[in-house]
Structure 1
Amino acid sequence: MLPDPRMVAMSNPLPHAPASAVQRDEVDDALQQVEHQLSLLWRRARSISHQLSRQVHPDMEPAAYGLLTIIRREGPIRLTDLASCVGVGKPSVSRQIAFLESLGLVYKEADPQDGRAQSIRLTDKGEEKMHQVQDARRQAFRERLGTWPLEDVQTLAEYMERLNAVYGEGLIKEAPARDDTAKDPGDAAQ
């Protein structure tokens, strides 16, 4: 007689599933540490981004600095593509680009592939400012990670790439909605 497939499925844990409550607790503890460290890194990165944007111009917001880094990395880029890169709407990016234009850091030109569209480029001034700031940023990385063995820096980069790939797959799922319709706190327990 063949075994019941449901019983076989229940007796074979998933490949990466913890085998015991102790292991689940250890995984939860490790994930909590990852969450804490990412939160700390996020706050520090925001602070650094704020400092870097102010080095480009005293009135610049970090979001505008982020757009400059993308424009510098990607080269001429259409507004819709730029908005897609940062995951915000065109109106928000358009306002930031207008601000960057007013500072003389970017300009728009006719898109060579579609004359109706425009591409955004760094001006010479924008390129020079970004070069200076990114050199300073790279030096800061050297100061902080320069004592690490090269293999550790490479491993960190690989893990960060994996993490970014996982988070690039989608947004965090929303928590289930709470049922706040109970009139009496005791009703919710029933």
Structure 2
Amino acid sequence: MISDGDERTSLVTGLLSELGQTVALTRRRWAHVSEGMCPGLSGLGLITLQIILRSGPISAKEISTRMGIDKAAVSRQVAFLRKQELITESESPHDRRVMLLTRTEQAEALIEEFRAIQAANYIDRLTDWTPEELTALRTLLHKFNEANEYECSRGPASDASDKQ
């Protein structure tokens, strides 16, 4: 006899497998599309740019915290984005040592084009889905992401301080 706990564990394990495959596919598609739009723009660079578009002006340190990656990796992406004139830097009015990153109009156009390409790809992939299925998937993904928002906003540094 399978207990409710065993069934839930099995369901979550299957879900993790599907999410892993989805993330891997998405990363490959993003990298392919972003490289075609702006040679040298990596998937990580695209994510960095999207964070700046959504949350800017923002510091590289804050991006690093949100993404849970090393600040040096973010700095490399920022340098590339700046060289491509997709972002600008300005001093923080609160702390002149902190540089705030802001999108450019060119970045907005690039992301708009990226989203249009991605939307077309997904429309093709989801052509057989009913509006109800699409709504259900969106609703459940939103619920899943909302449940993870606190955890994702913390980053590894705060996790380490919790253990002390």
Partner of residue 119, structure 2: 138
Counterpart Cα distance in 2 of 1:64 and 1:109 = 19
Counterpart Cα distance in 2 of 1:117 and 1:24 = 49
Identity %: 22
What is the aligned-residue RMSD (CA, Å)? 2.4
The structure that has the greater radius of gyration is 1
**Would you say the 8 A contact 1:56–1:130 is kept in 2?**
no
Higher relative contact order (CA 8 A, sep 6+): 2
Distance 1:90 1:48, change over 3 A: same
TM-score by length of 1: 0.68
1:47-126 paired onto structure 2 within 5 Å: 47-126=28-107
Name the structure with the higher helix share. 2
Q: Secondary structure at the match of 1:44?
A: helix
Query: Any gaps of 5 or more consecutive residues in structure 2?
Result: 153-164
- Pairing 1:154–2:135 present: yes
TM-score by length of 2: 0.77
Query: Any gaps of 5 or more consecutive residues in structure 1?
Result: 1-19, 172-190
**What is the CA-CA distance between 1:83 and the residue it aligns to?**
1.4
Pick one of 33, 37, 51 that aligns with 2:18.
37
Counterpart Cα distance in 2 of 1:74 and 1:170 = 18
Counterpart Cα distance in 2 of 1:33 and 1:82 = 31
Residues paired across the two proteins, number = 152
Describe the superposition over 1:55-99 as per-residue Cα deviations: whole angstroms up to 9, x where unpaired.
Answer: 332222211111011111223212222112211232221121012
